[in-house]
Structure 1
Amino acid sequence: MRAGRGVRQATRRLTHAQGADRTGLGRLIELTAAHGAGDVLITVGLAGTLFFGLPVDQARGQVALYLLITMVPFTVVAPFVGPVLDRFRSGRRYVMAGTLFARGLLCWAMAAAIGPADGLTLFPAALAVLVLSKAYNVCRAATMPSVLPADITLVTANARVALFSLVSAGVAAPVAVGLTAWLGADWMLRGTMMIFLAAGVVAVGLPRHVDAPDLDFDEEEEEYEAGEGKGGRRQRWRTLLNVGPVVAEAMRGNAAIRLLSGFLLFFLLFLIQEGHLRGSGYPKEVMIAILAGGAGAGGLLGAVVASWVRGHSPQIIVLFALALATTTATVSAFFFSLWTALVVAVVAGFAQEVGKLALDAIVQREIGEEVRSSTFGVVEALLQIAWVGGGLAGLLLSLLSGRSAGPIGLAVIAVALVAALAWLIITRRRRLRAVSERIRAAKAAERNAPSPASAAANPQDPRPHAPKPYGDGARTDTAKPLTDTTKPLTNPHG
Structure 2
Amino acid sequence: MSALGIGPDVVTALRANAGLRWLSGFLTIFLAFLVRAHPFPGWEDRQTLLFALVLGAAGVGNALGTVMGALLKIASPRMIVLGTLLADAVVILIAAARFSIVTAVLVGLVAGIGQQLGKLALDSLIQDTVPEERRTSVFGRSEALLQLSWVFGGLVAVIVPLKATVGTVVAAVLVVGWTIVVITWHTGHRLPLPRRARRRGNGNGAADPLSPERDDRT
Q: Normalized against structure 1, the TM-score is what?
A: 0.37
Distance 2:36 2:3 in 1: 45
State the match for 2:117 in structure 1: 354
| Shift of residue 239, structure 1, vs aligned partner | 4.7
The letter of the residue matching 1:374 is: S
2:95 is aligned with 1:332 = yes
| Shift of residue 406, structure 1, vs aligned partner | 0.6
Distance 2:35 2:75 in 1: 39
| Shift of residue 277, structure 1, vs aligned partner | 3.6
User: In structure 2, which of residues 136, 139, 144 is the aligned counterpart of residue 373 of structure 1?
Assistant: 136
CA contact (8 A) 1:330 1:411 kept: yes
Distance 1:322 1:283 in 2: 32
State the match for 1:407 in structure 2: 165
CA contact (8 A) 2:89 2:176 kept: yes
User: In structure 1, which of residues 384, 389, 413 is the aligned counterpart of residue 152 of structure 2?
Assistant: 389
2:50 is aligned with 1:292 = no
Distance 1:413 1:383 in 2: 17
Identical-residue share of aligned pairs (%): 38
- Give the secondary structure class of the aligned counterpart of 2:40: coil
CA contact (8 A) 1:270 1:395 kept: no
Q: What are the Cα deviations for residues 338-384 of structure 1, in whole angstroms up to 9, with x where unaligned?
A: 22111100110000011100000000111111111110110001001
Distance 2:186 2:169 in 1: 26
CA contact (8 A) 1:253 1:424 kept: yes
Distance 2:98 2:54 in 1: 17
Q: What are the Cα deviations for residues 226-264 of structure 1, in whole angstroms up to 9, with x where unaligned?
A: xxxxxxxxxxxx954x52211110000000000000000
The letter of the residue matching 1:389 is: F
Distance 1:239 1:425 in 2: 23
User: In structure 2, which of residues 66, 72, 78 is the aligned counterpart of residue 315 of structure 1?
Assistant: 78
State the match for 2:33 in structure 1: 270
2:71 is aligned with 1:303 = no
Q: What are the Cα deviations for residues 150-169 of structure 1, in whole angstroms up to 9, with x where unaligned?
A: xxxxxxxxxxxxxxxxxxxx
Distance 2:68 2:42 in 1: 31
The letter of the residue matching 1:264 is: L
Unaligned runs of 5+ in 2: 193-218
State the match for 1:146 in structure 2: none
Distance 1:330 1:280 in 2: 25
Distance 2:87 2:58 in 1: 15
| Shift of residue 391, structure 1, vs aligned partner | 0.3
User: In structure 2, which of residues 94, 102, 106 is the aligned counterpart of residue 343 of structure 1?
Assistant: 106
State the match for 2:178 in structure 1: 420
CA contact (8 A) 2:32 2:55 kept: no
The letter of the residue matching 2:146 is: L
User: In structure 1, which of residues 363, 366, 370 is the aligned counterpart of residue 126 of structure 2?
Assistant: 363
- Give the secondary structure class of the aligned counterpart of 2:99: coil
The letter of the residue matching 1:317 is: I
The letter of the residue matching 1:381 is: A
| Shift of residue 421, structure 1, vs aligned partner | 1.1
The letter of the residue matching 2:63 is: L
Distance 2:8 2:114 in 1: 21
Distance 1:301 1:329 in 2: 19
Unaligned runs of 5+ in 1: 1-237, 437-494
Pairing 1:22-421 to 2, within 5 Å after superposition = 239-240=3-4, 243-274=6-37, 276-281=38-43, 282-397=45-160, 399-400=161-162, 405-421=163-179
Distance 2:185 2:27 in 1: 27
Distance 1:376 1:249 in 2: 15
CA contact (8 A) 1:277 1:338 kept: no
| Shift of residue 293, structure 1, vs aligned partner | 2.0
The letter of the residue matching 1:283 is: R
The letter of the residue matching 1:396 is: I
Distance 1:289 1:322 in 2: 25
Distance 1:292 1:409 in 2: 16
Q: Normalized against structure 2, the TM-score is what?
A: 0.82
Q: What are the Cα deviations for residues 28-76 of structure 1, in whole angstroms up to 9, with x where unaligned?
A: xxxxxxxxxxxxxxxxxxxxxxxxxxxxxxxxxxxxxxxxxxxxxxxxx
| Shift of residue 336, structure 1, vs aligned partner | 0.7
CA RMSD of aligned residues (A): 1.7
Distance 2:34 2:66 in 1: 29
Distance 1:279 1:347 in 2: 24
Q: What are the Cα deviations for residues 201-220 of structure 1, in whole angstroms up to 9, with x where unaligned?
A: xxxxxxxxxxxxxxxxxxxx
CA contact (8 A) 2:27 2:108 kept: yes
| Shift of residue 312, structure 1, vs aligned partner | 1.5
State the match for 1:429 in structure 2: 187
State the match for 2:200 in structure 1: none
The letter of the residue matching 1:430 is: G
